[in-house]
Amino acid sequence: MHVRASYLLSCLVTAVAAEYDSPSSSICDALASALPNSTFAPETTTYNASISSYPFAQSRLHPTCIVRPQAAEDVATAVRLLRKSRGTKFAVKGGGHNANAGFNNIEDGITIDMQSLNRVEHYADVARVGAGALWQNVYDVVGKRGHAVLGGRIGVVGVAGFVTGGGISHFSPERGWACDYVVNFQIVLANGSIVNANATSHPSLFAALKGGQNNFGVITRFDLKTFLHGPVWGGRIVYAPQVDTALATAFTDFKYNQSVHPETYDPYAAGWVTFSYNQTAKAFLNAAVLWYTKPEVKPGALKDLTSLGPQVMNGMATGPVGDSTRNASMAVKASPPNRRTIWATTTFRITPTIVHSIHTLWKSLILDLYKTYPAAGFVPELTFQALPPPPRNSTPPNSLGFSPTSTPEKDLVFLQVVFHHTDGNATTGLTEKLKEFVNLFDGLAEEEGVKSDWIYLNFAAGFQDPLRGYGEEVLKRLRKVSKRYDPEGFFQRQTAGFKLWKGNGTDQHWW
């Protein structure tokens, strides 16, 4: 049996009888006795259901046990037990839609699956949302009273990861990041206490959670600001294969106009364009997913994108935002069950040429990958989208690193490089390719002098470093909050994700 040295040491120090067991299996025993109705061993129906609830095959890892807390107190109990065993690693799952293996599930450790904490209650203009809720739950509840929230544009995505990484919604061009609509986080800290972090209670923690994701605690409830909102106009448009350069041009015009003529900024125009490839048809697949949140004056700045043709399919429809997110989920649910997805992202300033140069290079690179991985079920995507405006001076800050006077919503664009595949043996090679693609695209942006250091955490690959992308000043602030609320570095050491310290020679941790 493989027993970690640090675990042996802690056994000696605490004079606990040595067990010839892994640290996680003894913690699982302790969890099962403290939370008998919420701890599940491998092979049980609930354990299996938790594993199959991950959307990507690479996330379906097998922990020693799964805890499904039914109340914030259960999370606190789990945290207190986990903290006692420094050798035990754990993962927290919100909606499970982060693509980085190990971030929301773990092999041979403990997974806290928040899915039972999914209650959504709506009072006046605040939705109280359990940290295991999916966005569709939230839209459905607040939609009954004609309200909307800044949430995911596809209903199946989880609230917890989305909000703590920033969160881009249909309404973001007008209203900003989803995390800026959080009025309160209920969170379990490393010492096991349950606190509220909001503008008046633990304000530095409140700011840190908006972009700092899982570095400070396990969030158990999000209180989100809601607002009355009528229907939106939106959906997916698929263009003919030859409409690829023209689509890049239409997206560039849309964004570049706003960058050079800020007064033309249209706060109701949202969405993205995606280039893909259909290997069966041997043709490029060009699509846009767009919304205009004020349908009575549509299409506004989306004009070039929505009128571009020929179109193969046009799903633009007017309806409540929750209908749109439910429709959008269907396409995602239709993807192959054994699909593995890896992704990475980078950000740059929009110019008349940069989207074209990246798109052209991407087209020349992907066909080679089909030759290298002919049987890997490979499907590549290249997506471009806009960023939300930062909170202005009078609103509580987030930790995403944009100054209150900056205008990333007008000047910057980010891209996602996505490699879907079905053969797990291709993942390592494709991840190297993903790195190479990002480096090449960054190189093009550098050549034009338009590369930004900012990296969107919610689409960042495990090998990227979005927290450093927020800038030195923000990183320092986040580290200070970590030292204050987690003085032993529990969330730095025992759970994966984007961490505040690398813990190597150049970037020493403090514990």
Ligand X SMILES: Cc1cc2nc3c(=O)[nH]c(=O)nc-3n(C[C@H](O)[C@H](O)[C@H](O)COP(=O)(O)OP(=O)(O)OC[C@H]3O[C@@H](n4cnc5c(N)ncnc54)[C@H](O)[C@@H]3O)c2cc1C
Contacting residues toward ligand X, per CB under 6 A:
92-98, 103-104, 114, 131, 152-154, 157-158, 160-162, 164-165, 167-168, 213-214, 218-219, 332, 458, 497
Binding partner selected for residue 257 from ligand NAG, ligand X, none, CB under the kind-specific 5 to 8 Å limit: ligand NAG
Closer to ligand X by CB, 225 or 339: give it.
339
Residue nearest to ligand NAG (CB): 424
Least Å distance between CB 304 and ligand NAG? 4
Q: Which one among 107, 368, 446, 507 touches ligand NAG, defined by CB under 6 A?
A: 507
- Chain centre to alpha carbon of residue 266: 25
Residue 224 in contact with residue 252, Cβ under 8 Å?
no
Least Å distance between CB 457 and ligand NAG? 16
CA atoms in the 13 A half-sphere facing the CB of 486: 29
Closer to ligand NAG by CB, 7 or 233: give it.
233
Quote the crossing angle between the two packed helices 354-372 and 427-447, to the nearest 10°.
160
Stretch that binds ligand NAG, among 16-24, 212-220, 273-281, 396-404 (CB under 6 A): 273-281
Residue 165 in contact with residue 222, Cβ under 8 Å?
no
Least Å distance between CB 105 and ligand NAG? 15
Closer to ligand X by CB, 40 or 459: give it.
459
Instruction: Decide: is 425 part of the binding site for ligand NAG (CB under 6 A).
Output: yes
Task: Compute the 3-state secondary structure of the chain and give helix, strand, coil in percent, each to the nearest 5.
Answer: 40, 20, 40
Binding partner selected for residue 497 from ligand X, ligand NAG, none, CB under the kind-specific 5 to 8 Å limit: ligand X
Least Å distance between CB 338 and ligand X? 16
Binding partner selected for residue 191 from ligand NAG, ligand X, none, CB under the kind-specific 5 to 8 Å limit: ligand NAG
Residue 275 in contact with residue 362, Cβ under 8 Å?
yes
Binding partner selected for residue 204 from ligand NAG, ligand X, none, CB under the kind-specific 5 to 8 Å limit: none
Least Å distance between CB 502 and ligand NAG? 4
Closer to ligand X by CB, 85 or 324: give it.
324
Comparing CA positions, the residue from 112, 107, 108 lying closest to residue 96 is 112
DSSP states of 122-167: EETTEEEEETT-BHHHHHHHHHTTTEE-S--SSTTSBHHHHHHT--
What ranges make up the beta strands (E) of 355-430? Answer: 379-386, 412-421
Instruction: Decide: is 301 part of the binding site for ligand NAG (CB under 6 A).
Output: yes
Binding partner selected for residue 158 from ligand NAG, ligand X, none, CB under the kind-specific 5 to 8 Å limit: ligand X
- Between the two ends of the chain, the Cα-to-Cα distance in Å is 29
Q: Which one among 183, 240, 246, 365 touches ligand NAG, defined by CB under 6 A?
A: 183
Residues 6+ apart with CB under 8 A from 499: 215, 467, 492
Closer to ligand X by CB, 64 or 494: give it.
494
250, with CB counted inside 10 A (0-12, 13-18, 19+), is: buried
Instruction: Decide: is 373 part of the binding site for ligand NAG (CB under 6 A).
Output: no
CA–CA distance, 42 with 306 (Å, rounded to integer):
49
Least Å distance between CB 425 and ligand NAG? 4
Site string (162-181) toward ligand NAG, x via CB under 6 A: --------------------
Instruction: Give Cα separations from 203 to 72, 397, 466 (angstroms).
Output: 21, 10, 22
Least Å distance between CB 12 and ligand NAG? 26
Closer to ligand NAG by CB, 10 or 318: give it.
318
Site string (314-353) toward ligand NAG, x via CB under 6 A: ---x-x---xx--x--------------------------
Residues 6+ apart with CB under 8 A from 408: 387, 388, 389, 390, 402, 454
Site residues for ligand NAG, 217-256, by CB under 6 A, read 223, 235, 253-254
Which token pair is 73? 């107190």
DSSP states of 438-468: HHHHHHHHHHTT-EES---GGG--TTS-HHH
Pairing of strands 65-67, 110-113: parallel
CA–CA distance, 78 with 71 (Å, rounded to integer):
11
Closer to ligand NAG by CB, 204 or 357: give it.
204
Closer to ligand NAG by CB, 450 or 475: give it.
475
Residue 237 in contact with residue 288, Cβ under 8 Å?
yes
Closer to ligand X by CB, 26 or 494: give it.
494
Residues 6+ apart with CB under 8 A from 399: 207, 208, 209, 210, 211, 212, 470, 474, 477, 478
Which token pair is 289? 């997913």
Site residues for ligand NAG, 459-498, by CB under 6 A, read 485
Instruction: Decide: is 116 part of the binding site for ligand NAG (CB under 6 A).
Output: no
Least Å distance between CB 195 and ligand X? 13
Site residues (CB under 6 A) for ligand NAG?
36-37, 43-45, 48, 183-184, 189, 191, 193, 196, 198, 200-201, 223, 235, 253-254, 257, 278, 280-281, 285, 301, 303-304, 317, 319, 323-324, 327, 424-425, 485, 502, 504, 506-507
